[in-house]
Chains A and B, each alone.
Chain A
Amino acid sequence: MAVEPRDRASGAVLLSARGVSKSFAGLHVIKNVDFDVGVGEVLGVLGPNGAGKTTLFNLISGDLGLSSGQIALAGRPLSKLPAHRRAALGIGRTYQIPRPYGAMTAFENLLVSAMFSAGKSERDSYRTCLAVLEDCGLSSRANRPAGALTLLDRKRLELARALAGEPKLLLLDEIAGGLTDEEAADLVSLIRKIQHSGVTIIWIEHVVHALMAVADRMMVLDFGSKIADGKPGDVMADPEVRRAYMGIEA
């Protein structure tokens, strides 16, 4: 189900967040954040370390519960749903620090997502998983235990595992860190390919040039609050963003 650019412009909202807040024992990590993500859009998320970007992902994927506010996927409130139900609804995610199933092979890591997130039969999952492994450059490591992969391959596995679940909304948490320029370019073209297949993406990334290459829109968080949201060029030119993110006085 390829989404044409005009569909993206049609403004159908896939994910909407209203007044989203999260606090841990009085420490406010996310403060009253509102945003929408349109169907087929790529939203880039920037922010200094500790700005609450990963926490925001945890709230969307259901790893953490909201303190207040609402998150809805295609109009359906998510707040009461556990993580595995959200995965079945089409939310796929990667972890910044890879969390592979260490004793299982890379291929089996993907099978879990294909079978439990996309809800396919085991036989139907085999082909999907092999194709995704190839897309992510992991074909030669299909039978390796995930725990024995290098850090770079584990990061690739994070992306591959999320893709095997055939998500509608893909949450990418810093998957470009540590890549060479060439590898980053490959990653960018892979993400474009994912986008063209109709997947909506929210991408947290410090590698700004990679993010700029694919993001339709950018959002910047600082100390748990949203400080900018708009076209990538405008956001990067915003004086407040330059001060908060790059430490450049405007």
Chain B
Amino acid sequence: MSYSNVIVRRQTTSSVIALAVSVLIVTAIPTMPYWASNGHIRWVIELSCLIAIAQMWNLLAGYAGLVSVGQQAFIGVGGYVLFVFANNMGFNPFWTVPLSAFAAAAVSIPAYILLRRLEGPYFAIGTWVFAEALRLLTANISYVNGGSGMSLRVMAQYTPGQRALGLTMMSSLLLLLTVGGSYVLLRSRFGLALTANRDEPVAAASQGVNVKRIRLMIWMLAAAGTGMAGALYYMAQLRITPDAGFDPYWSSICIFSVMVGGVGRLEGPIIGALLYFFATRFFGQFGATYLVALGLLTLVMALFSPGGIWSLLSRLVNWPWFPVTRVVVNQSQRAGEDQECRSGADRKRGFGDANGVNGTKHVDAASIKPGRETYQL
């Protein structure tokens, strides 16, 4: 059989739209100081941090099989590196934000060496212990003012306008690196190995995938993204303490966002983080009752919809934002085969819309032209 009529499709109409919207959002955020209120700018900065840490936790738990409850270690390290470099050493605070990512990745290496032999729940507890150890250590270093924490006094040399511009630019960069970076990563050859490792690590190793190296790389990348988010968050707060920076609540936010939004999908953590953010804005006043409700919601989702809100949504409409799969399309046949793939697991949902199954416009597979995102064989 000749394969001249076969193409491999990687984008869908919905994903092209999502990509355009994402680019629009990322470029619009730095213009906010010119048209948005300070309150809304603060919302966007915090939301960017939440999306970033949730997306990083999703890489860990949803792809590398590493469940961490110690992500606050990297939030704290990122924040403190920013404060030390900007306040104590006089570096430009804005440029120190990306630098914090590297610092967090560096700290993640010894942590991994200590924890790599632990499995499942033991690994999770190990990460928590590691974060607690860092908190106690930080609280006892007088150079960073011990348990009383630090204030970012250097920010006083910038006007409120400059600060807003710097913070929004960093928010954009953070989203670009964590969400955009995860998307690029998962679509690459590395993403294929990563997903194989998640689904069947033993088989992946026997088919040539270096499972150990992949786990370490994801651990470091997740630490970097989380560290950068920590730096940005505390730069906006202007103040950091060991108890806040290394608060285990950060990991709870990650777990909530990813479990409720949808684990192992790029769209899930974004939805989860948005839900957490707005739920906190509107119901945070109810205190403990609100936290109990969030906990119950996580529990219900884990029991009845392990794929989270995203999997419920994609059962209604198959419009993936960030598809990572490769769909084989035989142009000489009708797209009947595509239809079969709809019966399967959630990750592969979303390609049936080209068949007009949902009452959407019918697109014949043969009409799809090989472009940058399709590969003619």
Contact = CB atoms under 8 A, between A and B. Distances in A.
B205 A82 contact: yes
Contact of B3 (A123, A127, A147): A127
Given A127-B3, A130-B328, A142-B328, A112 B193 contact: yes
A140 B337 contact: yes
A104 B341 contact: no
A186 to B, nearest CB: 17
A141 interface: yes
A112 B204 contact: yes
A106 to B, nearest CB: 9
Contacts of A102: 199-200, 345
A142 B340 CA distance: 10
Contact of B326 (A100, A111, A119, A147): A111
Given A100-B200, A113-B208, A145-B345, 4 more contacts: A84-B210, A86-B206, A104-B195, A107-B326
A131 B2 CA distance: 9
Contacts of B196: 101, 104, 109, 112
Query: Which secondary structure dominates where chain A touches chain B?
Result: helix
Interface string B160-200: 00000000000000000000000000000100110110111
A95 interface: yes
Contact of A130 (B3, B204, B340, B346): B3
Interface of A: 61-63, 82-84, 86-88, 92-93, 95, 99-105, 107-109, 111-113, 115-119, 122-123, 126-127, 130-131, 134, 140-145, 147-148, 161-162, 165
B296 interface: no
A220 B43 CA distance: 70
A84 B377 contact: no
B343 to A, nearest CB: 6
A59 to B, nearest CB: 12
B348 interface: yes
B344 A83 contact: no
Contacts of A119: 208
Contacts of B326: 105, 107-108, 111
B375 A126 contact: yes
B343 A148 contact: yes
Contacts of A148: 343-345
A68 B212 CA distance: 25
A62 B377 CA distance: 35
Contact of A117 (B207, B327, B347): B207
Interface of B: 1, 3, 6, 8, 189, 192-193, 195-196, 198-200, 202-212, 264, 325-328, 337-338, 340-341, 343-348, 351, 375, 377
Nearest to B211: A84
A107 B328 contact: yes
B8 A126 contact: yes
B344 A116 contact: no
Given A103-B264, A105-B326, A108-B325, A143 B205 contact: no
Nearest to B212: A82
B199 A104 contact: yes
B6 A130 contact: yes
14 contacts: A82-B205, A82-B210, A82-B212, A83-B206, A86-B206, A99-B203, A104-B192, A105-B325, A105-B341, A126-B377, A144-B341, A148-B344, A148-B345, A162-B207
A106 B211 CA distance: 20
B292 to A, nearest CB: 33
A84 B208 contact: yes
B286 to A, nearest CB: 38
B377 A111 contact: no
A118 B199 CA distance: 20
Contacts of B343: 144, 148
Contacts of A99: 200, 202-203
Contacts of B198: 103
Give the interface centre of A62, A82, A119, A145 by most chain B CB atoms within 10 Å.
A145
